Chains A and B, each alone.
Chain A
Amino acid sequence: MRSFAIKTTLLSVGLCLSGVALAEKTVITIESWRAEDQAIWDEKIIPLFEAAYPEIDVQFKPTTATEYNAALNARLAGGTAGDIITCRPFDNALAMFEAGNLADIKDMPGLDNFSDVAKGAWSTDAGDATFCVPMASVIHGFMYNKDAFAELELSVPDTQEQFYATLDAINEDGSYIPLAMGTKDQWEAATMGYTNIGPAFWEGEKGRLDLISGKARFTDEPFVEVFRQMQKWTPYLGNGYQAQSYTDSQNLFTLGRAAIYPTGSWEITGFLENADFEIGAFAPPKSADGTCYLSDHTDMGMGMNAASGNLEAAMTFLEWTTSADFAGLLTNAAPGFFSLANHELEVDNPLAREFMAMRGRCEPTIRVAHQILSRGEPTLDTQLWTLSANVINGTMTPEDAAAEAQANLDGWYKPE
């Protein structure tokens, strides 16, 4: 591991050293997978911080999302990683903390601004250490083409029956594809499908925590039922959905050929740029007893490289990210990524505001397989992609899919 890392990062060692040597101010660098946010950090967020702390120079140095974890681990092993590390939630960051790469920041005063659920994504199982400041969450739901809904005289569905009635109505009319979703890339099936509508069936946090404690199994009725729901979606997807990729789905919706797009808030910026019709959002259909559950997924945090030479400056920066200033800045500069802090926030973007409003009336939960359950091989999270896609493709029954997911857990997981 170490020799590999040293070899692959010789170049960046050189670059970092020369950067440190030239600057008189303390330079701290941020590791991130959000390469698309470079401009937002460079132009909006960092100048504000540097204005308040002129002695610290912050540089945002992202890596492509798919290579982030591999590249970051290599840099951490080689001692060349940045001072601030953007953390993925749960096990991924936990593994870095246990390897001694992330510093414990449990005593940082600013952490009081976050709920326990938010901090839970970046704390040890026992809760005795917290290693990242919760930064942002993404909210799942459905976006719809307001023009299409007006044309077909449809109203926003609220219950399961209304949801399917709406889809049937769009199908009958025939001028729009009811749901813009494909199974080629697999992750949409699980992320926009299974974990998006599932909480209404397994009662949100209750079902998720029961899986972790072993009180519930994937073969139990609620979890199988969600796979059945996935099967029910099939007639509403476009022709040839088996070969429809994620970008195909995005284009289908923004070109106005599909009426509803199962998705999450992270699409807001891109969609508002590309679509020339008005977009609205609605929450996943309510459960049988009329409660609304929402996947408000803790997605991004920020921690400190324990081996950083600038721990003090890094701490100052992290402390600043707990402030209301930063929360407001982030939420509005990157609409769709909602601050996890308890500060009262004004959201300017109307579509982002619609998603934000769902928080007020729905019970929040996170993606079902992210905490603890994804420590096996393959990770349950990735396996759910394939299983959900198989069910929608009709190559696997909901019962078999549920049994395979449970078999994964049985293979390695012993609930306490």
Chain B
Amino acid sequence: MQGSSSQSQPTPRRWYILVFLAPATLIYTIFAIYPILESLRLSLYVSDASTTRFVGLANYTRLISEPYWADQFWNAFKNNVLLFVMHMLIQNPIALALAALLSIPSLTGAASYRTIFFLPTLLSVVVVGFIWQLILSPLWGVTPDFMKILGLGDYFKPWLGLESSALITVTLISIWQYVGIPLMLFYAALLNVPEETLEAARIDGLNGWWVFWKVKLPLILPTLGLVGILTYIGNFTASFDLIYSIQGGLAGPDFSTDVMGTFLFRSFFGFQSQLGDENMGATVASALLFIILAGVSIYLFGVQRRLQRYDH
């Protein structure tokens, strides 16, 4: 309605819109769009010490067919998918449960709980990585002693150093740190559920449990979708920091915690005697971009449209 009425009148030159848009557009173009285009371009070339030549999509073929690259790529991709699934199955349900509890009006001390749950999110990843490495250290950590007191001493394992448990351990550390973000999003969404709807449900005879399942949850589904896609993007990009700070660039043991981020780091910048290859690095980066893009597109076109119908 607003749009059609403004079109019938002579539009004033709203130059100030440009002024407001300029800083964000400029900064975004220089620091995000240009680098993305530049790495897409780099991924189409091969260079050695003296020459650079255009090879088309050969680098991508190499990435998924040459054993050295393909093994690493699929391993990193698999770990990323596992990481995503574990976050969806563990982090988001915990966040939802905590948010549901926090939004109970009669709960005392909700503000303190909220702060406590959110605090780890504010810590630097390096600090979190360092603290947890110490806590879990078989040499200096508190975990072995603590478990001994509880009579569980035999169950202690150097989890970060075992292939079978390293990835899940890193995931749990990441969940510990970041559970606050989905928690806050769910919490805000739950607070927005109109009181009249809840009252009507109660009058119809639903108890607290069913009010949550039948009324609150459907109403916050869009937030659930949003958290899902944020988790997806975060797992492909932010997982690098934590894994690099805890397990190092080789993402040990035996690459069991290697994700796209650490793989990208090793290919672009090199690692120890392995020299970096900026073209293959850019190829990995571009592949990562396409993976994220695919996920986000599925969400935008497949999921979000259906979700929004609930809103009205």
Contact = CB atoms under 8 A, between A and B. Distances in A.
B253 A95 contact: no
Contacts of B276: 69-70
B250 A386 contact: yes
Interface in B163-201: 163
Contacts of B156: 240
A99 B274 contact: no
Interface residues of B, number: 36
A251 B137 CA distance: 13
B270 interface: yes
Contacts of A233: none
Central interface residue in B136, B140, B162, B274, by most chain A CB within 10 Å: B274
Interface string A383-400: 001100110010110000
Nearest to A101: B49
A385 B157 CA distance: 23
Contacts of B275: 69, 73, 92, 95
Instruction: Give the dominant DSSP class at B's interface.
Output: loop
A230 to B, nearest CB: 15
Contact of A99 (B50, B139, B253): B50
A241 B157 CA distance: 10
Contacts of A187: 272
A413 to B, nearest CB: 14
Interface in A396-412: 396, 411
Contact of A1 (B47, B161, B252, B255): B47
Interface residues of A, number: 45
Instruction: Give the dominant DSSP class at A's interface.
Output: helix
Interface in B239-254: 247-248, 250, 252-254
Contacts, number: 113
B158 A92 contact: no
B233 to A, nearest CB: 26
A194 to B, nearest CB: 15
A378 B162 CA distance: 23
A182 B253 CA distance: 12
Contact of A95 (B49, B139, B159, B163): B49
Contact of A238 (B138, B247, B278): B138
B113 interface: no
Given A382-B271, A382-B272, A241 B163 contact: no
Contact of B253 (A251, A377, A389): A389
Central interface residue in A70, A98, A243, by most chain B CB within 10 Å: A243
Central interface residue in A1, A240, A389, by most chain B CB within 10 Å: A240
Interface in A281-314: none
B99 interface: no
Given A4-B278, A242-B162, A243-B138, A186 B49 contact: no
Contacts of B47: 1
Interface string A59-86: 0000000110110010000000000000
A123 interface: no
Interface in B244-288: 247-248, 250, 252-255, 269-276, 278
Contacts of B68: 377-378, 411
B218 to A, nearest CB: 45
B25 interface: no
Contact of A186 (B144, B157, B250): B250
A238 B139 CA distance: 8
B160 interface: yes
A379 B252 contact: no
B200 to A, nearest CB: 55
Interface of A: 1, 4, 66-67, 69-70, 73, 91-92, 95, 98-100, 182-187, 238-245, 248, 251-252, 370, 374, 377-379, 381-382, 385-386, 389-390, 393, 395-396, 411
Interface of B: 47, 49-50, 52, 68, 133, 136-140, 144, 156-163, 247-248, 250, 252-255, 269-276, 278
Given A73-B275, A386-B252, A411-B68, 8 more contacts: A99-B49, A182-B161, A183-B252, A184-B253, A239-B158, A242-B158, A244-B158, A386-B254
> What are the 4 tightest A-B residue pairs by CB atom distance, in nearest-first order?
A240-B138, A242-B161, A243-B161, A243-B158
